Structure 1
């Protein structure tokens, strides 16, 4: 999982997304029609383009160092510059990247064979030492690697030949290839990193990678430019567009207006509030699957939300369809569990996983009578609950307001408390802070399909966000079997068996998954419409329609 927004290397910030970053999107009336046509890839480009100006939603990146990037805006840029041994594909599957193949002499050992024809932008050849050095940065707590926690199963990463890298795990891990496909697994040139020191990935220190684009002019406050790499190794991803200039725009209304006026040629993550206007613009608005999710997580082990009947009742009472229509502009779907279904899509056993997800009980429309009965059964001595959101986050406020209304209907007294970033962050590490909060409005996304590891943060007794003390040995065992299985189908069956156990516990109150929203001006095409772009070199496919 990954929406890495801020600091701590040991924290999977996907879970802290609402907590640490406010989304400025305001709730809007439902669009005239619900976006239901989902696209994986836009039509293939057949012509070249000299330059494109692309919009980034949010602040300008402060770093492009692959192990430090943590926002959608940063990922949007770096995914075209730096690449790893494995690569996420537009359909969210994982395929080979800088590795032309790999061997697995034992379930715990992977030997990656690096392509011999790869060069950094400065013309120097990629070596196994560069790869091992880059990956080992995630194992160094001093590096500040925001996804370093994902490498906990890794015992060692070594260059075992000029073009061979051996990754040794403490036990088999079904997520490891997906982990290596994320930007934390992207390769930088060792000498460049060591020469730049703390400035690596900044305007002062530059960047040195192997991707289809190389970093061009970057002056803080004036946007970021990337230019086509004429010596790129992968001829299937030879760029159609020579230069791309990224403009970061914080205000959603400004972003929408710039797309409509033609000041921007395209953007991912366009504001839900702009869906109606953009759908009527001269360009094309595409919708694609994503792993973006919204949910409410219980954080107090002794409050009302620690009672499973209260969580079940809130799940039944929440008007999830209203959230999708009114807040997401129709670009989403109610969610049945804490894992968004697109996270399963690229798995070799996706058919079984998605079928099991489809069979989970859903309640897009509220069932107030059933929810009220559960609250009566719980016989609470205190019916007051506090929902924490990040101050200024209008999307979280809209979700919390709907939850508050649902709670009122079933006999609960729910208060919304807007907290500052530091206060929200404190909830994750200070049990005393959690005593005053019952539910945390949470959103995030997965950069790669690591739903197994993500599930563990809720299910395992020591899981990062298992604040209510959930401990079911059968569920833990099934998840461990899924994570350590070497056969994808076996892993899927173990996961499904475990899902049948933890689903009934409602470790979260799931709300919705959000579709990706891509806007392209007339004449541009080629790029993925799914959220896989945060790890895939999408810009290499961007070109003209003729």
Structure 2
């Protein structure tokens, strides 16, 4: 994970200001947050564009291989290049993509009917062999795929016709189709995959996909360039922009200047400090959209003081979330009872079932120092210093931990903030050795799949690579497994709600906030989705000119 950088002097000044706010309850001296209005899309625009320069605020991707894409930057680029079998919509619902339809002859069989007339960038037709190769390579440990859990119940995946693929399961799995909306379901040409080998998705190995833009150049450390696919099968979504250039500006002041000057046309994941400078700018428009992201604290091992639910609860009780959202997120966030935002399920046919289960969870706690001290006393931790990792230079994480640090001090705990460099922070999630000497980390996670079961399993399933505290509750595991197998969406939601009530009470996770999506578009652009669904959508194909400025 790449993180924005800032100067030491700026951080010191910011830390003092936030510590004062956290201790006194006073507001920030910064510009007051404006009223935030959410929208899933920006106004439609139909004029052609010669080129668009877009920024990746989390830095240069390490790969664009769909099987290995699991972070902001690679997904932002890759979603316009490689297409999935099922397409995500801006409201987090989904529809046919490279698969025109699917059906289940029985509970353990899924038949995918593929779209005919689709070609790869090299002009070769997409067939079922390409789909099977794209899916099965992710089962090979050598691929290092980021979604191995999608294969939990899969028995076989076979081409059963030139444009048909049949998936057979060991047990009913109703979530498999939803996994197909992301990198897991993106299709690459089989022969190109074999030829590129381990280099697939790199600057050297390239890609071969069917999407609306074609990767043409990757200059490491400088930029990634893609051009319009004039033979794109979806005539309603053929890009209006001839060329996309992606830049990797992670420094917030540099990004602000580049957006204000027009050097950069747009960006998702606009940091709060940049948003404050942009929101009244005449250079373009800052949009806020619903999000599937959550910021939270998570213990790095079962030996961490934070692994004790009472310590986690105590830290939750010292955190003034209203002040956090006002000062850190500039008002562009909401409080959450859990780590799964409502956007994930709000457009489900069972949205009311999910909503009722969420409403039954305990309320987000108000600041309660007396209650927090009591919990610390009951826990009586031998270790009173809690080392928390964060990406070096990430101002929002630093500000959040500064708030927490001030509150923790009042209840006899010390928060030691550890800033890790981007490669270390990324490795922390996969390499246990990096987590040694750390007690917790700030996580800004997001739920890619429009079903909360997929995210809940990451923390609760025995053997999951993110179950760092070795959480075990057979009832939770059973409920989630039954939810995955449920043929009724209402039954799926009901079972998930029962599991959520249990693990939310037992897991030592401290939800902080759900930050809204922030996207900035130069005044000459419009049409891009404003919601977090962009992460798995061909968002750039929606871009068009407004007639303002040059094209």
After TM superposition, the score normalised by the length of structure 1 is 0.89
State the SS of the aligned residue for 2:290: strand
Deviation at 1:538, TM superposition (A): 0.7
Tell me, in whole angstroms, the C-alpha distance in 2 between the residues paired with 1:181 and 1:265: 27
Alpha carbons of 1:112 and 1:324: their partners in 2 closer, same or farther (altered >3 Å)?
same
Alpha carbons of 1:96 and 1:444: their partners in 2 closer, same or farther (altered >3 Å)?
same
Question: Which aligned pairs between 1:273-288 and structure 2 lie closer than 5 A?
Answer: 273-282=273-282, 283-288=284-289
Tell me, in whole angstroms, the C-alpha distance in 1 between the residues paired with 2:420 and 2:537: 35
Question: Which aligned pairs between 1:39-54 and structure 2 lie closer than 5 A?
Answer: 39-54=39-54
Tell me, in whole angstroms, the C-alpha distance in 1 between the residues paired with 2:78 and 2:53: 16
State the SS of the aligned residue for 2:292: strand
State the SS of the aligned residue for 1:87: strand
Structure 2 residue aligned with 1:375? 376
Structure 2 residue aligned with 1:75? 75
Question: Which aligned pairs between 1:187-336 and structure 2 lie closer than 5 A?
Answer: 187-282=187-282, 283-336=284-337
Structure 1 residue aligned with 2:538? 537
Given that 1:448 and 1:535 are in contact with CA atoms closer than 8 Å, whether structure 2 keeps it comes out as: no
Tell me, in whole angstroms, the C-alpha distance in 2 between the residues paired with 1:266 and 1:110: 40
Alpha carbon RMSD of aligned pairs, Å?
2.6
Given that 1:296 and 1:440 are in contact with CA atoms closer than 8 Å, whether structure 2 keeps it comes out as: yes
Structure 1 residue aligned with 2:441? 440
Deviation at 1:343, TM superposition (A): 2.2
Structure 2 residue aligned with 1:111? 111
Structure 1 residue aligned with 2:23? none
Alpha carbons of 1:198 and 1:429: their partners in 2 closer, same or farther (altered >3 Å)?
closer
Deviations 1:469-503 (A, max 9, x none): 43333323222221221211101011111222222
Tell me, in whole angstroms, the C-alpha distance in 1 between the residues paired with 2:472 and 2:222: 51
Alpha carbons of 1:127 and 1:305: their partners in 2 closer, same or farther (altered >3 Å)?
same
Number of residue equivalences? 526
State the SS of the aligned residue for 1:329: coil
Tell me, in whole angstroms, the C-alpha distance in 1 between the residues paired with 2:544 and 2:424: 43
Tell me, in whole angstroms, the C-alpha distance in 1 between the residues paired with 2:212 and 2:299: 43
Tell me, in whole angstroms, the C-alpha distance in 2 between the residues paired with 1:386 and 1:452: 30
State the SS of the aligned residue for 1:512: strand
Deviations 1:380-402 (A, max 9, x none): 45544333334544433322222
Residue 66 (1) aligns with residue 87 (2): no
Structure 2 residue aligned with 1:102? 102
Deviation at 1:170, TM superposition (A): 2.7
Moved more, 442-451 or 372-381: 372-381
Deviation at 1:529, TM superposition (A): 0.3
Deviation at 1:346, TM superposition (A): 4.0
Alpha carbons of 1:472 and 1:191: their partners in 2 closer, same or farther (altered >3 Å)?
closer
Moved more, 215-224 or 45-54: 215-224
Tell me, in whole angstroms, the C-alpha distance in 2 between the residues paired with 1:366 and 1:545: 47
Tell me, in whole angstroms, the C-alpha distance in 1 between the residues paired with 2:383 and 2:248: 46
Tell me, in whole angstroms, the C-alpha distance in 1 between the residues paired with 2:449 and 2:439: 30
Given that 2:295 and 2:511 are in contact with CA atoms closer than 8 Å, whether structure 1 keeps it comes out as: yes
Structure 1 residue aligned with 2:529? 528
Structure 2 residue aligned with 1:387? 388
Structure 1 residue aligned with 2:144? 144
Given that 2:316 and 2:365 are in contact with CA atoms closer than 8 Å, whether structure 1 keeps it comes out as: no
Structure 2 gaps, min length 5: 19-27
Moved more, 523-532 or 472-481: 472-481
Moved more, 292-301 or 352-361: 352-361
Tell me, in whole angstroms, the C-alpha distance in 2 between the residues paired with 1:422 and 1:219: 24
Residue 126 (1) aligns with residue 126 (2): yes
Residue 487 (1) aligns with residue 488 (2): yes
Tell me, in whole angstroms, the C-alpha distance in 2 between the residues paired with 1:247 and 1:389: 24
Question: Which aligned pairs between 1:439-518 and structure 2 lie closer than 5 A?
Answer: 439-518=440-519
State the SS of the aligned residue for 2:113: strand
Given that 2:526 and 2:544 are in contact with CA atoms closer than 8 Å, whether structure 1 keeps it comes out as: yes
Deviations 1:397-452 (A, max 9, x none): 32222222222222323333445655984686649965x44332222223333531
Structure 1 gaps, min length 5: 6-20
State the SS of the aligned residue for 1:106: coil
Tell me, in whole angstroms, the C-alpha distance in 2 between the residues paired with 1:424 and 1:200: 21
Tell me, in whole angstroms, the C-alpha distance in 2 between the residues paired with 1:93 and 1:256: 33
Given that 2:385 and 2:414 are in contact with CA atoms closer than 8 Å, whether structure 1 keeps it comes out as: yes
Tell me, in whole angstroms, the C-alpha distance in 1 between the residues paired with 2:255 and 2:343: 27
Deviations 1:1-22 (A, max 9, x none): xxxx5xxxxxxxxxxxxxxx43
Alpha carbons of 1:457 and 1:199: their partners in 2 closer, same or farther (altered >3 Å)?
closer
Deviation at 1:94, TM superposition (A): 2.1
Alpha carbons of 1:523 and 1:122: their partners in 2 closer, same or farther (altered >3 Å)?
same
State the SS of the aligned residue for 1:181: coil
Deviation at 1:104, TM superposition (A): 0.8
Structure 2 residue aligned with 1:11? none
Alpha carbons of 1:197 and 1:305: their partners in 2 closer, same or farther (altered >3 Å)?
closer
Given that 2:3 and 2:58 are in contact with CA atoms closer than 8 Å, whether structure 1 keeps it comes out as: no
Moved more, 261-270 or 357-366: 357-366
Tell me, in whole angstroms, the C-alpha distance in 2 between the residues paired with 1:270 and 1:141: 35
Given that 1:81 and 1:214 are in contact with CA atoms closer than 8 Å, whether structure 2 keeps it comes out as: yes
After TM superposition, the score normalised by the length of structure 2 is 0.88
Tell me, in whole angstroms, the C-alpha distance in 1 between the residues paired with 2:406 and 2:135: 47
Question: Which aligned pairs between 1:401-440 and structure 2 lie closer than 5 A?
Answer: 401-419=402-420, 422=424, 425=427, 430=432, 436-440=437-441
Deviations 1:266-296 (A, max 9, x none): 1111222111111121211001112222111
Alpha carbons of 1:84 and 1:418: their partners in 2 closer, same or farther (altered >3 Å)?
closer
